[in-house]
Structure 1
Amino acid sequence: MTNGVRGAAFFWSTLCTVFSVICSPKCQAQSDQCISGPGQFTGSLQIRPGIGCLPLTVTASSGLKDVTNIRYVFDYQGGTPRASDLTADSVFTYHKAGLYRVLQYSEQNGRPLRVCAIVQVYDTLAPELLVSGCLNRVMISIPKSAEYQYDWYVVNWGDGTNEQLDGVGPVGVHTYADGSPRSISVRGVHLYGNCGGTTRVTFRPSTPSAGPVIDRVRAVSADRLEITVRNPGGNPFRVEQRSPGGIFEQTATASEAEHPVIQMEADTTQPVCFRLVLADTCLRAGPSPEVCYVPPKPPEPPKMADSTVFMPDAFSPNQDGINDRFLPQGLLGGSLQLTVYNRWGEVVFRTGDAREGWDGYLDNQPVPTGTYSYRLDIEKPDGKRWQQRGTVVLTK
């Protein structure tokens, strides 16, 4: 069904409904003045315009000559109108949408005349738009088009291009020649009256060449981290985070500012990594390089000059029988607890008896070569305690 046919069908079906009410026995019982009775002379009522949008101002007149004492009821509801409902003013403005009956009384050569006419007043609701874009391509839809009852919509894409969309399920797609911001207007149009409401939106094409990057991650309190970001493209992005060895997970934090500073709750005693991902997947840009926060190491305890225990600075767990385990040397009386950390500060080995040493494995898998930090907690038989910290290089 075309726009014009659909609009006409709606108008005339509504009009017929009104006249069916006018001609019903109930209305006749209420002495409906729009129904001519025996001996009743009919006048001639002309209304311009008879159809239009809010606010609609109409002018009524009689098409007969020598007519006097003309009076109107511009919103006739049936029955015999009161004197206060009548007006000699032929101009009237409607401020509410609807289908109205206008009643006209007049006299000609001493004979009373009366006649009715219909006025259709359309609403001018501004259509609610759903706008989505990808680079220089934009799509507009109107989810509530059935509520507005517009016959069609006229879209001005803001680059000299206009497009007409159907009133039923309207969807428009347009591609711009460049990335300049555009002002788009969408106007709903009623076929009869050629009027309606307008909505304007601004569309800013996406910029694929400049993705967001993290400049710095730092702790601002014991439970909060601050992320400083550069986002020269101004494109919406979200923050993802992971613990070392884990997978990235999306946080609830998002932004489209060019220089945002984002604060997030976090345990600042644990390492964590962040990256930025563009919210608009059509930009075809990958995640930003990850930037990690590593908590500062606690200060090294002072070394004891008379320590009888020392730790090697390297070992090679290659099963050749030479220096295959990392373990303390010296006079090992008392209790010795050994903890080993990777570069993230994660525990890769812990034992309550350091005499066993560490074989360079974690969960039955060899760990990568590199430098690891350790902490040796010592309690001598005489009750003296101290802590020794240092690093060890694992080689193959």
Structure 2
Amino acid sequence: MQFWEKSYSGSVSLFQPLLLLKKAKRSSLFCFFLGSTALASAQQIADNQCDNQPGVGSGGMRITDPVGCIPQTVKVANNQIGSTKSRYIYDYKGGNPNNSQVYKTDTVTSFTYTKPGLYIIMQLSESAFGQPLRSCQRVTIQDPIPPTFRVLPCENGKVTLTISNHDLTQYEEYVIEWGDGNVAIINRLNLSAQYQYKDLSPKQISVQGRHSVSKCGGKSARTVSLEIGTQSAVLSKLEVLDANTAELTISNPNLFDLELYRQDGAGQFQTTGKVLKNADEKTKVAIDTTKLFCYKLKPRDSCIASLESNVLCVSYLIATPDISHNTIAVEPYRYPSEITKMRVFRNNSPWWTPNFTDLFREDNQAECGKKTCYRLQLETRNGTVLSNTVCIDPPPALCVTLTNVYVPDAFTPNGDGVNDFFEVKGEATSEIQVLIYDRWGTPVFQNSINVRHWNGTVNGHPAPSGAYFYRISVTDKIGRNFVKRGSFALLR
């Protein structure tokens, strides 16, 4: 097909495809370009003044490389004997070409197109007698979008490759380099190919799309492992978003078609009907706080059906407020042998590391006027589970003013008989419990029936000067319990 090689001459007309047909071989390549030319001719532009204008003759030009991928540089040359003053419009869209406010003519004989599309180049020239001449030709600029593809490996080195973005690229054919020296070509009518490798070492497979005529197109490559035993998809995260919704994060490096399954309690896994294909993907699922749902992924292709993903289950945290503290409870996980670590976060900071024999804890460190939020994080062998976030108001006892209880803000245990003891005083009918601890949280004093105040010593030795902290629990005469926290200074 030599008429396609490098240059085209003449004007666009309805007879040009017929002339080309007489010269061309009967092939799919020619049929495609003929279809493209017909399509371009069918796309009419308003007020097309390329041909048959009063007082205007037909010029002639030759175009080099009128079909190609961006960035595509075309070259034009005057092909009309005796004509002069050749000027060019490289994107003629209709109307008067001599309108300087719309078109800028150029004597430069090359132009680079950077966007795909169908363009008209118009040549303006004059005959030896001064008659204006015009000639138009079409240029096809194609988009070299890299193809994307999925590779499904089966046992014994057999793979199936499928083009996954043909709707976007629209290439006529794809050239596959299998990574072992062999090449295959598939076309738009069959977007899959199978191949049998002789060994199971990783292979770098590349696919290049090719447009007809120009033979240009984008290329992409990726390394594929043929050891299917290590290629299972992974549920890397299950996060509870609210009472009705959770989000799954999925790692699917080999782009398998995966079907999502759900287990309700100890029942059987049932398909959700949801199919996932991307390498890294997130999907939301409906949950129920009264049920423990578990999830896993299964490949849809029978040759890798055994490559199921890990299982992740929803987990919930229960926080119950009391009058003086919050009680936090962790529900047992559906598959405890999968758990490698459990942590409860308190206001986004690690607070407690539960275990399977310690699933309850009291929190007496809340502050009046501030909510406390809790969340459980479970680490499994292959993924992470984040429970619901529970935020509760502070215990009521923290927000009650103890007007009948006096707590000093400093004392001086120096033996001068003045303010030598730290002593909390309240109503005679009140029961007061006092716990004092240093700045590292180590208890240094707790009152009792026999010892009501602190003399500033620890194990018989004077405690150092500085700030100390207290927790005071007061039970009033009607049985209500109140808690007060604060600090004071020991001065010597």
For normalisation by structure 2, the TM-score amounts to 0.42
Instruction: Give the partner amino acid of 1:154.
Output: V
Match of 1:149 in 2: 170
Match of 1:60 in 2: 76
Cα distance in 2, alignment partners of residues 169 and 76 from structure 1: 38
Are the equivalent residues in 1 in contact too, given 2:313–2:334 (CA < 8 A)? no
Q: Which of 113, 116, 124 is residue 136 of structure 2 equivalent to? A: 116
Task: Give yes or no for the alignment of 1:168 onto 2:206.
Answer: no
Q: After superposition, what is the alpha-carbon deviation per residue over 1:325-368, rounded to whole angstroms, capped at 9, x for unaligned? A: xxxxxxxxxxxxxxxxxxxxxxxxxxxxxxxxxxxxxxxxxxxx
Are the equivalent residues in 2 in contact too, given 1:240–1:249 (CA < 8 A)? yes
Q: How many residues align?
A: 243
Cα distance in 2, alignment partners of residues 193 and 247 from structure 1: 58
Match of 1:106 in 2: 125
- Calculate the aligned-residue CA RMSD, in Å: 4.1
Instruction: Give the partner amino acid of 1:156.
Output: E
Q: Which of 225, 237, 240 is residue 204 of structure 1 equivalent to? A: 225
Match of 1:190 in 2: 211
Shift, 1:265, TM fit: 4.6
Instruction: Give the partner amino acid of 2:35.
Output: F
Are the equivalent residues in 2 in contact too, given 1:58–1:92 (CA < 8 A)? yes
Cα distance in 2, alignment partners of residues 124 and 6 from structure 1: 21
Task: Give yes or no for the alignment of 1:125 onto 2:145.
Answer: yes
Shift, 1:66, TM fit: 4.1
Q: After superposition, what is the alpha-carbon deviation per residue over 1:208-259, rounded to whole angstroms, capped at 9, x for unaligned? A: 4999xxxxxxxxxxxxxxxxxxxxxxxx9x999999xx567594478xxxxx
Are the equivalent residues in 2 in contact too, given 1:271–1:295 (CA < 8 A)? no
Instruction: Give the partner amino acid of 2:123.
Output: Q
Q: Structure 1 residues 146, 169: CA separation in 2 closer, same or farther (over 3 Å shift)?
A: farther
Instruction: Give the SS at the match of 2:40.
Output: helix
Cα distance in 2, alignment partners of residues 120 and 210 from structure 1: 43
Shift, 1:201, TM fit: 1.9
Match of 2:89 in 1: 73
Match of 2:115 in 1: 96
Q: After superposition, what is the alpha-carbon deviation per residue over 1:169-225, rounded to whole angstroms, capped at 9, x for unaligned? A: 4101112211211111111111111111112122111254999xxxxxxxxxxxxxx
Task: Give yes or no for the alignment of 1:50 onto 2:50.
Answer: no
| Aligned pairs for 1:289-368 within 5 A | none
Are the equivalent residues in 2 in contact too, given 1:53–1:196 (CA < 8 A)? yes
Shift, 1:95, TM fit: 1.0
Instruction: Give the SS at the match of 2:29.
Output: helix
Are the equivalent residues in 2 in contact too, given 1:151–1:166 (CA < 8 A)? yes
Instruction: Give the partner amino acid of 2:38.
Output: S
Q: After superposition, what is the alpha-carbon deviation per residue over 1:282-336, rounded to whole angstroms, capped at 9, x for unaligned? A: xxxxxxxxxxxx9569xxxxxxxxxxxxxxxxxxxxxxxxxxxxxxxxxxxxxxx
Cα distance in 2, alignment partners of residues 105 and 270 from structure 1: 80
Q: Which of 5, 10, 17 is residue 42 of structure 2 equivalent to? A: 17
Instruction: Give the SS at the match of 2:92.
Output: coil
Shift, 1:41, TM fit: 1.9
Q: Structure 1 residues 241, 272: CA separation in 2 closer, same or farther (over 3 Å shift)?
A: farther
Q: Structure 1 residues 197, 33: CA separation in 2 closer, same or farther (over 3 Å shift)?
A: same
Cα distance in 2, alignment partners of residues 121 and 185 from structure 1: 24
Structure 1: unaligned runs, 5 residues or longer: 212-235, 255-259, 276-293, 298-396
Cα distance in 1, alignment partners of residues 194 and 61 from structure 2: 47
Q: After superposition, what is the alpha-carbon deviation per residue over 1:149-186, rounded to whole angstroms, capped at 9, x for unaligned? A: 21111111111110000112410111221121111111
Structure 2: unaligned runs, 5 residues or longer: 1-25, 233-257, 271-293, 298-309, 317-329, 339-354, 359-492
Instruction: Give the partner amino acid of 1:155.
Output: I
Instruction: Give the SS at the match of 1:180.
Output: coil
Q: Structure 1 residues 148, 168: CA separation in 2 closer, same or farther (over 3 Å shift)?
A: farther
